[in-house]
Amino acid sequence: MPDPVNILLVDDRPQNLSVLESILQGDDYRLTKAQSAQEALVALFDADFALIVLDVQMPETSGFELARIIKERQKTRDIPIVFVTAHCSEDEHVLSGYSAGAVDYLTKPIKPAILKSKVAVFAELYRKTKALNEANQALQSRNQELVAVNNELEAFSYTVSHDLRAPLRHVSGFVEALREHSGANLDDEARRYLTKVQDAAGEMGNLIDHLLAFSRMGRAELRLELVDMNDVLQRARDDLQPEIQGRCIEWQLATLPKVEADASLMRQVWTNLLSNAVKYTRPRDPARIEVGCGDSPNGEFVFFVRDNGVGFDMKYADKLFGVFQRLHRAHEFEGTGIGLAIVRRIVSRHGGHIWAEGKLDAGTTVSFALRKPSAPGVPKVGAVIPRSSAATVQP
């Protein structure tokens, strides 16, 4: 059963109030009676009401005058008012009531069925409006909490990352000092231990760098412009030259459209996605990496990077874009597990979304969708370009 709502009954005659009360009494309503404008205003100050049933003809302050006072107050201006009158047939009288803030009329003598029906409608409207407002407030409160927590986590990761750098430098420094001081006295096993310590310190340094990059990604201001994705993609490939040197890689690069984006962040997206494709196709000879774009049913551009690498099990797809999440062992493929998390954050900040599809030993396709630019004259991309029609480019 729904919670009862407050109904205010205003009439200077006790017998009229008793009639209204006898018709409406029940578990659905909490009825408050007032015999004057002053009593009504006091009641309105103390509680929230779903409806006011107000008699027009009252001494000292008429129903019309009271309605105007109610509508002038911010706390009460939105409460519906139903006037009770014996003069509903007079047009001027009706217009005066509506101009005073009435939403409906009841004529005397009161017909119980009509009164119950009208009150039930406004009571249900009040319940739904209240539930909606409470849901919106809860959502806003939850969003504020999430923003605060996210800011705290980013500040924490940024601070911790900075604080970790000092002891890490000490570890590397003392390892080097030990080599210089006692290198001649160390056997092969001791030297191997020092090398492992130095390598571990280097890995931790990379992890800190990526953690800082991920933290900055949430605070950096977006500098939106019309970005040619072909140029950004080429710059990303240039960044990867040391990794692809000496590799046999067949590149299939389709012509990409322009998007409204932050050029430097888009370069990071492509660099990370191509770097993953290069890394996980290392066992393949030749490796094949395809880049293309198509349209989504929602009118977005859908960019993709497809490779013939080692792939992954789709049951772990939800972990792929998480921080520090790795689906392959470190001795097989290097990395910190932050690259795709950074990509997801960049794409999300641009209002897009990202996903991946793959199969073990059968390659991976990572796709991300971005809104089409509002600038006129930008060519529309059609269906995804098939492999046979994409240009083949050798590094």
Residues whose CB is less than 8 angstroms from the CB of residue 257 and which lie 6 or more positions away in sequence, other chains included: 229, 293, 301, 372, 378, 379, 380, 381
Angstrom distances, CA of residue 285 to CA of 100, 231, 241, 391: 83, 27, 18, 19
Tokens (6 digits) for 52: 């006011």
pLDDT, residue 93, reads: 55
> Does residue 392 register a pLDDT over 60?
no
3-state SS of the chain: helix, strand, coil percent to 5? 50, 20, 30
Short-list 306, 309, 321, 226, CA closest to 266: 226
> Does residue 393 register a pLDDT over 60?
no
Percent of the chain with pLDDT over 90: 29
**Rounded distance between C-alpha atoms, residue 393 and residue 244, angstroms:** 13
What is 330-388 written as a DSSP string?
TTTS---S-HHHHHHHHHHHTT-EEEEEE-TTS-EEEEEEEEPP-STTPPPP-SPPPGG
Q: How confident is the model at residue 189 (pLDDT cuts 50, 70, 90)?
A: confident
State the average pLDDT for the chain.
81
**pLDDT digits over 33-45, tens only?**
999 999 999 999 8
**pLDDT digits over 110-128, tens only?**
899 999 999 999 999 998 9
What does the radius of gyration of the chain's CA atoms come to, in whole angstroms? 35
307 three-state secondary structure = strand
**pLDDT digits over 198-253, tens only?**
877 877 777 777 667 666 666 667 788 999 999 999 998 988 888 888 888 899 99
Q: How confident is the model at residue 186 (pLDDT cuts 50, 70, 90)?
A: confident
**pLDDT digits over 30-87, tens only?**
999 999 999 999 999 888 999 999 998 888 888 888 988 998 888 898 899 998 887 6
Q: What is the torsional sign of CA 292, 295, 298, 299? A: positive
